[in-house]
A and B are shown apart, each in its own frame.
Chain A
């Protein structure tokens, strides 16, 4: 076997005092060989990004390596001076980040940003730099590279921006590429393209790639070898096939088991049950910009003639990529957003027409669970009040409302003592449970979950999904589950509506959509799910 290009030995990275543990990275060792893709997998806070940042000398101010070594080309990177580090960065080791919008300079043309990489290392003439920039952009597959080179980052799509980042990283032909969650912010179809691009470039150039991700689907798509991290330690390492098919460590097994399976079951048909929510001809357009004389306003048809029905006790998934209008539909249903036209019949009332006290009353039966467990709870209210506020606003007495809050907290598996604590004392998953308890406080019949598990780690996500399924069963709730994650949709939904550009392009029972999608778009979406092929192969 060849020598490793990068070899990390017993690396220890200390966290500042008062952090939840002493070491972000504790005694981590691994080798990166030329021409391989090593995936470092772990949940948030496992120290996976810190290991990569240490190799680049990009640790935050208060975090410092205290032990071990990072050997690159025979020298210990940790002992290099900042000036020596600068020579290494970009030239020998390059990095791409999660959010290409914030990693690119918004006020600089794309070609100048790529040229800047050469300039920083004092290479080539300005004319050659511009030429190389175009060549690189062609190589990473940006359509019409000459025109795109003159564009500013905001004029490109998310996928194109990530391609520009990759072009910059490849500019000096580094021997190692570190990719820190490079596809997490992208839609599933774009993610598939970027993964393919990284895979191809790596093969052509024989680079070593260190790929950091939380998503086992992505690992299955791209990895040669895998290292699983938990609490700053590597708990398991091996070839991708070994780790995925035959995990040895308990934590790895737990993580893999928590991944929602794609195979949707042919559940009991909801036919025959009475519909509780009927949406007909729903429309919503956004008009932005445009002045009286000078420019035409930009009109976006966010929701375009959408029809949906939801039966009692049913779970309807609304899936689509970002900008497909799926969240707008959810918000129109509860009237956080005023639809332009259409009817939303909820148990006989037309939600779209109500206002004032009648609307407040009708909203009792349709509640929402939000995406961001950190932004959805008032940081200055105690948990008890957060849950009790709704019933109290509808005239329930304080004692009764708080009593109900305790019951609800127990129902979502939280301690009743939580009532007197503030939201910041809870973890993301616990906060999401509080959000669910709040939604249940008004005893709704329909709950809209808008990306309710997207911000959570996969093991927490599995717990919250189980909780939702259980509550739905016990309380006979109907659920509208809005998500971009088709795996999650496959696990929890009875029926699925696929949205694209504001329109519902396909609806049907979940298993039918996954096994035999009718529309071209639904097929593209499903084929792009990372790890799907492996799973199909495993299922035989």
Chain B
């Protein structure tokens, strides 16, 4: 573990990313304490410019709602959607990839054609359709993002399993009478964890972007304040009130950047062979 941290921290960007993410997580967790009032509540006159009142440092929006409070609650939504939809996508993608890679033959063909079917449909368009059909809510958004983002997981896992299944220790497990399920769960999948973790960290970032895009289009959960919604609502007044789209935009940028930096650091730390040479 200490060794892992050593290699991770050698990548300075990754450490910065981790620090940023920790800040975002803290803000999300502490939001109800920092801003006890609902972010939907009107607190001041509309279009209060940032830094003009100490109580509302980032100003207010078109309806007089506190922008900084919206950002804090938006962090909750972003992180929740990012994490849960990624976990859901992994739950779909890993079994499909593992089965296709391990058994090969017709099972591989069938599962991979199914995967390609999802890959050929533009993912954002599919997500819009799914959310529109199921009524926008946090659950339907998470489901839609998971459904459009599992194919890369399946392909990655399939590739890893294909190369692992011809290893001698897998053959030894076959000879020792273990069932295919045991072999997949105990011998094969534990060795695919590193690339999956790296991919997952990047998928969280993509999911946050997808959720923001959906909310921007007005397909967000109507009961939850989110960064995408804030930008979407502010787009008509962008010339009068730049701060309404700017601060949520920066929040999205920093969070996604942090996750990407972490993903790269994890890649260096978990795949030492691919890491840069020397010091």
Contacts and interface: CB of A to CB of B under 8 A. Distances in A.
A366 B172 CA distance: 11
B190 interface: yes
A182 to B, nearest CB: 27
B37 interface: no
Interface string B218-248: 0000000000000000000000000000000
Interface stretch (A66-74, A253-261, A386-394): A386-394
A368 B169 contact: no
Contact of B177 (A378, A386, A393): A393
Contact of B176 (A61, A361, A438): A438
Interface in A433-455: 435, 438-439, 441-442
B125 interface: no
B2 interface: no
Interface of A is mostly: loop
A378 B172 CA distance: 10
B190 A380 contact: yes
Give the one of A361, A364, A381, A439 with max B CB within 10 A: A381
Contact of A441 (B169, B176, B278): B176
Q: Chain B's interface: helix, strand, loop or mixed, by majority?
A: helix
A372 B178 contact: no
A336 B187 contact: no
A370 B168 contact: yes
A370 B168 CA distance: 7
A367 B175 contact: yes
A304 interface: no
Contacts of B273: none
B246 to A, nearest CB: 46
A50 to B, nearest CB: 18
A363 interface: yes
Contacts of B168: 370-372, 375-376
A292 interface: no
B169 A394 contact: no
Contact of B174 (A336, A366, A438): A336
Contacts of A394: 177
Given A363-B177, A389-B178, A441-B176, A378 B187 contact: yes
Interface in B156-182: 167-169, 171-179, 182
A243 interface: no
A390 B177 contact: yes
A524 B255 CA distance: 69
Contacts of A380: 190-191
B186 interface: yes
A-B pairs with the 9 shortest C-beta distances?
A390-B176, A376-B168, A370-B168, A360-B177, A393-B178, A380-B190, A378-B169, A393-B177, A375-B168
Interface of B: 167-169, 171-179, 182, 186-187, 190-191, 277-278
14 contacts: A61-B278, A363-B175, A366-B175, A375-B169, A378-B186, A380-B191, A381-B186, A389-B176, A389-B178, A390-B177, A390-B178, A435-B172, A438-B176, A442-B176
